[in-house]
Structure 1
Amino acid sequence: MSVIEYVRGDATAPRGKGVKIVAHVCNDLGGWGKGFVLAVSRRWPEPEAAYRRWHRERARNDFGLGAAQFVQVGPALWVANLVGQRGIRTGRSSGVPVRYEAIDAALVRLADKAEGLGASVHMPRIGCGLAGGKWERVEPLIAERLVARGIGVTVYDFGG
């Protein structure tokens, strides 16, 4: 069985050969404007536009916690918008927006897509930035849903 590879670098510049999916966690409000999504938008405009359209048309699609949207941004490169947080943090927030069960459900969809494409998955420490999650809770989900199925996963810690 493979393991999660940890590297220093930018997840929007995934390393290696073959088809790649850059995965990140989004909120269920349609908001896109802080955190890792800014790096995604600087590199590719399509994921933000697709996410906003997906949210806007949510009465007619599967948008919601646990959903996953896949946006092709290059010949062998995709971005996965994973809805894994309820709302956003505000000054009056109690608790954190991360929803581990939603991340888990979205990871199942991500694994299916990665398997279908023969892709590796690249991500920051999803759900652990603005969503307020703990990596000790997210990492086992990634190991169970992706690594256990033989999907290569690289986690990027920014810098260096």
Structure 2
Amino acid sequence: MSGITYVRGDATVPSVKGVKLIAHVCNDIGGWGKGFVLALSRRWPEPEKAYRAWHRGRAHNDFGLGAAQFVQVERHVWVANLIGQQGIRTGSKGVPVRYEAIDAALGRLAEQAVALEASVHMPRIGCGLAGGTWSRVEPLITQRLVQRGIAVTVYDHEG
């Protein structure tokens, strides 16, 4: 069993064969407009549309911390909207990242990756605008995905 593969590049264009799941962390307040989501929206409109509709219908669905939404954007490409951030700003409650929510969402991501026989591709989730640290997120990815035999590639954006 190998660990996480790290590459420089754009997580929205994984260059491997087979089904690909592109995962990223979203907030729990319906905001979409900064960070990695901008790269997603430049490539495909569907993940943002689905996320906003999911948030609008939150009184009647599972939208909330720890939830995951899977949106097919191409024949062999899916985007996973993972709710792992409470709010959008650092304030009296600290940084927005919620590690336990990322952990729960990664569990759902693992189930979907196994079902689709997909590899997983992501930026350093939870570590940008969410304010998290990779030393806390990486073990969650290893436990939830890598230890289940799911190939994971993490992209460090160039530029």
Matches within 5 A, 1:132-151: 132-151=131-150
| 1-structure distance, mates of 2:156, 2:40 | 15
TM value normalised by structure 2 = 0.98
What stretches of structure 1 of length at least 5 have no aligned partner?
none
SS at match of 2:50: helix
Shift in Å, 1:2:
1.7
What stretches of structure 2 of length at least 5 have no aligned partner?
none
Matches within 5 A, 1:99-118: 99-118=98-117
Partner of 2:23: 23
TM value normalised by structure 1 = 0.97
Residues 9-66 of structure 1: CA deviation (Å, up to 9, x unaligned): 0001112100000000000000000000000000000000000000000011000000
Letter in 1 for 2:63: F
Letter in 2 for 1:57: G
Letter in 1 for 2:25: V
Partner of 2:37: 37
Residues 101-152 of structure 1: CA deviation (Å, up to 9, x unaligned): 0000000000000000000000000000000000000000000000000000
Residues 48-107 of structure 1: CA deviation (Å, up to 9, x unaligned): 0000000000011000000000000000000000000000116xx231000000000000
Matches within 5 A, 1:121-136: 121-136=120-135
Would you say 1:153 and 2:152 are equivalent positions?
A: yes
Would you say 1:5 and 2:5 are equivalent positions?
A: yes
Shift in Å, 1:5:
0.1
Question: How many equivalent pairs are there?
Answer: 158
Partner of 2:79: 79
Letter in 2 for 1:156: Y
| 2-structure distance, mates of 1:97, 1:24 | 14
SS at match of 2:72: strand
